Amino acid sequence: MKVNIGKKILTTNEEYAAKNRQILSEKKKFCLNMISSPGSGKTTILSRTITELKGKIKIGVIEGDIQTDIDTQRIMATGAPAVQLNTDGACHLSALQVNAALKKLPLDGLDLIFIENVGNLVCPSAFELGENAKIVVLSVAEGDDKPAKYPAIFAKSKVLLINKIDLLKTAGQVDFDIERAKTDARRLNRNIEIFPVSARTGEGFADWCNWLIKAVKNQKH
């Protein structure tokens, strides 16, 4: 007897992803599922994005981590509402977990919900959470070969944020060819939007924040 458990799990996840999509669509909220390796700077990007968009877009965050609420504490320090999800070992968030978190967020007062997934460049790309789009973050410290080596998430994402570009200023300290990363990412995904940024210095954030403002506006119409 062959039992196709893999398919069953995905179907349950898809059911909840559809529920989440409906909640977000009815309330006209824009939702982004942020995926990257551990330590690429997702939380720092979110903190700066929230601060730079204060008074323009109201942002809430769902924080996914295996353990700890370190990231939720960091987000709440910016004044934005945040809900922590701990997966206790699981390598990605599920739509069921996100469904519970959406109920805890003050959705009516928000324009944009970021889901910060578990730090993992592989598994989260296979699980829809009900988001409008996926965003992949790659830091220059990780190397420019990552789109070629981990293609799935680059193929599925609407936006690629190339973070920590401040590390490129010191000659010879970090080898990262931005053009190679862009070319490889676009080979997988012709329409991917690419923003080189530094969450530490704020470089590149104007373009990224303008993209968010437009995306949120489109969602409301």
Containing 220, the helix (H) or strand (E) segment is helix 205-220
How many other C-beta atoms are found inside a 10 Å radius of the C-beta of residue 22?
A: 11
**C-alpha triplet 210, 211, 213: angle, nearest 5°:** 60
Work out whether 46 is an interface residue with a second copy (CB under 8 A): no
Nearer to a second copy, 55 or 89 (CB): 89
Identify residues 148-207 at the interface with a second copy (CB under 8 A).
Answer: 148-152, 164, 166-167, 170, 173-174
Contacts with a second copy by CB under 8 A: the residue count is 36
Identify residues 5-44 at the interface with a second copy (CB under 8 A).
Answer: 5, 37-40
Q: Which of 151, 135, 142 is nearest to 185 (CA)?
A: 151
Q: Work out how close the CB of 164 gets to a second copy at its nearest, in angstroms, rounded to a whole number.
A: 7
- How far is the C-alpha of 17 from the C-alpha of 128, rounded, in Å? 6
| 152 three-state secondary structure | helix
Q: Work out how close the CB of 205 gets to a second copy at its nearest, in angstroms, rounded to a whole number.
A: 18
Residues that bind a second copy (CB under 8 A): 3, 5, 37-40, 65-68, 70, 89, 91, 118-123, 139, 141-143, 145-146, 148-152, 164, 166-167, 170, 173-174
